[in-house]
Amino acid sequence: MSISRWQKELEDALNYKNTIILCGNIRDKYLHEEPYTKNECKLLTLKEYLIEFLGRRFNTLRFYDPIKKITHYSQTREKKPSSDLSHTAPQRTSPSESTIDRDLVRISRELTSQTNLCFIIQYTDKTTPEKANSPDEMRLILHLEKIVENIHPTNKQILIYLSPEQIPKEIYQNQPKSKVIVVPSPDRTDLMTLFKYFYKRKDDEVERSVNITDGLKFLEIEQIVDSFKDDFGIKDFENRVRSYKFGELRNYWEEVSLQRLDNAFNYFAQEEGIKGQDKAISKVIRVIIRARADIQRKTGGNPKSPRGVLFFAGPTGVGKTLTAKKLANFLFGSEDTFLRFDMSEYSQDFQVTRLYGAPPGYVGYESGGTLTNAVKTRPFSVILFDEIEKAHPRVFDIFLQTLSDGRLTDSKGDVVFFSESIIIFTSNLGTRTTKTKGEAIKEREALEGLISNNDTERIRQHFLNSVEYFFQYEMSRPELLNRIGRDNIIIFNYIATEDTMKGMLKHHLTQVQKEFNESYSNATPKLNLEMNISEIVEYLYKVYRERIKSFGGREVENIVNERIRDELALQILQAEYQNLSSGTINISVEDDNLRIEL
């Protein structure tokens, strides 16, 4: 059975350092191998662990905290707490000295006059500040400095801090008698030891248990295990951990049926009207199938990573954002699970922290982070980082962490997991005239030449090359490109063919007619919409095809708003003005123009 690295570091430090400073994950539980046994261990708090580990090394073991004062341990037996050290000669103290002052003076006398003694000072971050802002605070730090300097060679003191930032530099900087040991959260090796030797799980369950609990602390795992009244199987355990991490007992991925996957292409291309992007949709579906089966994470891939990662590239207005939004609805049954972050809002250095929360003491700390809050609320989600070329370079560190570790720690210390989400990046790389730093780039000029030749494959390669250039040379972040995966870069086509443009117009008009009749069939006045959709499509295509070709799918929406919805709004108000109880609005094409009449 292997012990954690920090435990080995502590064992070694006891041989040559008199002051050891523990900080970091100090409120967790820790494995301790039973003496004289093989592969038997206990799960202990830090105090319990130190008693077990140090009790046999020292004649006297004492703990101090500002509330309980001094607690004596001899041969691992706890003695009655005391507020003073009766066998220590009384000290003359100044009236201005605090109780903690007097306690530290007494501890100092103990550690300098006795032998084979170990003193553990708990909550040291609460007794001494990291930086002296007053004479009283300076005096407290000075007491600790003097203990470090004058401690008897056979004695040890262990100071416990919550974080490294809280440790006064006077007691460790250029101080050869002390050593700082950061206690980390359990890694995969620690988790493997926990499930194999403490919980005695079967070999085939150990790996699955580690995968699902990666990122949790031992104490959290103990709480989950203790929530079972009886023995439990691995499937029950996975569901309980998922509930703990995400607040969800439902596994929405398991509800994506094979029948629904078979209908996926029709859903995107027909039901949701994403036209002219058959290749892109087919690649998205392939990633969905991979994510549904969780094959990547279960066959040697990173078990902590998100379910899937996609990068949508191509010109503006061709359906990239719409595809991501409809994917959320397809997978999780609601467009509320679509979380969009416009990267232009995170283009400045000071804006980056908004994603995970402002530091303590800064404006916005209590509000938390926009990204972390959203994923906490909706762990089963499609997360869209829109136009990432506009993001500040430090945002790419966040991308790398979420793709590599599948989690992000917010400013309050809460861990947010991304392992049940799909992450999508979009960009307009390949259409720019300037780089992120304002330098000229001829992407658009090169693209226009390819468009004029109608070379679809070379246009696709142009966008792919632009994405790779951006990560490798402009941002110098090839590791992020590797995490995304070149195979997951999906290029969306220009909307240029007659069939595609007419298909988009038909979809929007059909949707307007359907939703109008559903909304106004039981309203007052009761209205019905009739229109010859094929005839109107031909008319709008003839008039607006160049606009659609230039500006894409968003322009189709603008045209329908301008020529159809605005006119319908006038007819509705007209019906109300005339006090009609019912009526029919008819839209047709007459004399090469639209005619709308009530």
CATH code at 544?
1.10.8.60
Do residues 440 and 588 share a domain? Answer: no
Predicted confidence at residue 313, as pLDDT, reads 92
What burial class does residue 577 get, using C-beta atoms within 10 Å of its C-beta: 0-12 exposed, 13-18 middle, 19+ buried?
exposed
Do residues 109 and 157 share a domain? Answer: yes
The whole-number average pLDDT for the span 511-530 is 87
Judged against a pLDDT cut of 50, whether residue 369 lies above it is answered with yes
pLDDT one-digit tens code per residue, 436-484:
766 777 777 777 777 666 677 888 888 899 999 999 988 889 999 999 9
Do residues 586 and 486 share a domain? Answer: no
Predicted confidence at residue 452, as pLDDT, reads 66
Q: Is 116 a member of any domain?
A: yes
Structure tokens at 552: 């894409």
User: How many alpha carbons lie under 13 Å from residue 425 in its C-beta half-sphere?
Assistant: 25
- CB contact at 8 A, 141 and 129: yes
Predicted confidence at residue 283, as pLDDT, reads 93
Predicted confidence at residue 555, as pLDDT, reads 86
Do residues 297 and 371 share a domain? Answer: yes
Of the pLDDT bands very low, low, confident and very high (cuts 50, 70, 90), residue 98 is: low
Of the pLDDT bands very low, low, confident and very high (cuts 50, 70, 90), residue 66 is: confident
- What percent of the chain has pLDDT above 70? 92
Predicted confidence at residue 132, as pLDDT, reads 66
Residue 514's domain comprises: 498-597
Which of 183, 212, 229 lies at the terminal end of a domain, its last residue?
183
The whole-number average pLDDT for the span 46-62 is 90
Do residues 10 and 157 share a domain? Answer: yes
Judged against a pLDDT cut of 80, whether residue 165 lies above it is answered with yes
Task: Give the whole-angstrom CA distance, residue 298 versus residue 121.
Answer: 45
Beta bridge partners of 159: 21, 121
Which of 161, 183, 205 lies at the terminal end of a domain, its last residue?
183
Q: Is 287 a member of any domain?
A: no
pLDDT one-digit tens code per residue, 193-239:
999 989 988 888 898 899 889 889 999 999 999 999 888 888 889 88
Judged against a pLDDT cut of 80, whether residue 361 lies above it is answered with no
Do residues 226 and 341 share a domain? Answer: no
Q: Is 261 a member of any domain?
A: no
Q: Is 254 a member of any domain?
A: no
Predicted confidence at residue 391, as pLDDT, reads 93
Judged against a pLDDT cut of 70, whether residue 360 lies above it is answered with yes
The whole-number average pLDDT for the span 114-133 is 84
Q: Is 111 a member of any domain?
A: yes
Neighbours of 295 (CB within 10 A): 12
pLDDT one-digit tens code per residue, 538-567:
989 888 888 888 787 788 889 999 988 998
CATH code for the domain in which residue 354 is found: 3.40.50.300
The DSSP annotation for 54-109 comes to HTTT-SEEEEEETTTEEEEEETTEE---BSS-TTSPP----TT--HHHHHHHHHHH
> How open is the CA angle 232-238-242, to the nearest 5 degrees?
130
Amino acid at 315: P
Task: Give the whole-angstrom CA distance, residue 481 versus residue 325.
Answer: 23
Chain mean pLDDT for the chain: 86
Task: Give the whole-angstrom CA distance, residue 470 versus residue 436.
Answer: 9
Judged against a pLDDT cut of 90, whether residue 500 lies above it is answered with no
Do residues 392 and 476 share a domain? Answer: yes
The whole-number average pLDDT for the span 27-50 is 86
Q: Is 279 a member of any domain?
A: no
Task: Give the whole-angstrom CA distance, residue 298 versus residue 303.
Answer: 7
Task: Give the whole-angstrom CA distance, residue 194 versus residue 237.
Answer: 15
Judged against a pLDDT cut of 60, whether residue 353 lies above it is answered with yes
Tell me the three state secondary structure of residue 230.
coil
Do residues 198 and 159 share a domain? Answer: no
The whole-number average pLDDT for the span 33-48 is 82
Q: Which residue has the tokens 């569901």?
A: 239
Q: Is the backbone peptide bond immediately before 525 cis, with ω within 30 degrees of 0?
A: yes
Do residues 153 and 213 share a domain? Answer: no
Distance, first Cα to last Cα, the chain: 83
Which of 132, 161, 183 lies at the terminal end of a domain, its last residue?
183
Do residues 483 and 507 share a domain? Answer: no
Do residues 377 and 422 share a domain? Answer: yes
The whole-number average pLDDT for the span 128-141 is 76
- CB contact at 8 A, 316 and 428: yes
Do residues 64 and 127 share a domain? Answer: yes
Q: Is 262 a member of any domain?
A: no
The whole-number average pLDDT for the span 120-144 is 81
Tell me the three state secondary structure of residue 14.
coil
Q: How many domains does the structure of the chain reveal? A: 4
The whole-number average pLDDT for the span 529-533 is 89
Judged against a pLDDT cut of 60, whether residue 86 lies above it is answered with no
Of the pLDDT bands very low, low, confident and very high (cuts 50, 70, 90), residue 97 is: low
Q: Is 82 a member of any domain?
A: no
pLDDT one-digit tens code per residue, 282-305:
999 999 999 999 888 777 777 788
Judged against a pLDDT cut of 50, whether residue 22 lies above it is answered with yes
